[in-house]
Amino acid sequence: PEKKFVFDAGALQVMEPDWLLKLKTSAIITPHQKEFEKLFNVSIHQISVEEKIKLVQAMAKKYKIIILLKAIIDIISDGNEVYLVEGGNAGLTKGGTGDILAGLTTTLSSNNSALTSAVTASLLLKKTGEKLFRSKGYWYNVDNIIEMIPEVLNEIIL
Higher pLDDT, 3 or 152: 152
- Over range 92-107, report the average pLDDT: 95
**Window from 3-12, 52-61, 108-117 with minimum mean pLDDT:** 3-12
- Over range 73-88, report the average pLDDT: 98
Domains of the chain: 6-157 (3.40.1190.20)
The H-assigned helical ranges of the chain are 10-14, 33-40, 49-63, 97-109, 114-136, 142-157
Please write the tens of the pLDDT for every residue from 120-145.
999 999 999 999 999 999 999 999 99
Spatial CB neighbours of 10, under 8 Å, sequence gap ≥ 6: none
Q: What is the pLDDT of residue 64?
A: 94
Measure CA 73 to chain center: 11
The model's pTM: 0.94
Give the three-class secondary structure for 132: helix
pLDDT band at 26 (very low <50, low <70, confident <90, very high): confident
Please write the tens of the pLDDT for every residue from 1-17.
577 899 997 888 888 88
Q: Is there a contact between 121 and 108 (Cβ–Cβ < 8 Å)? A: yes
Q: Give the torsion through C-alpha atoms of 21, 121, 107, 112, to 10 deg.
A: -70
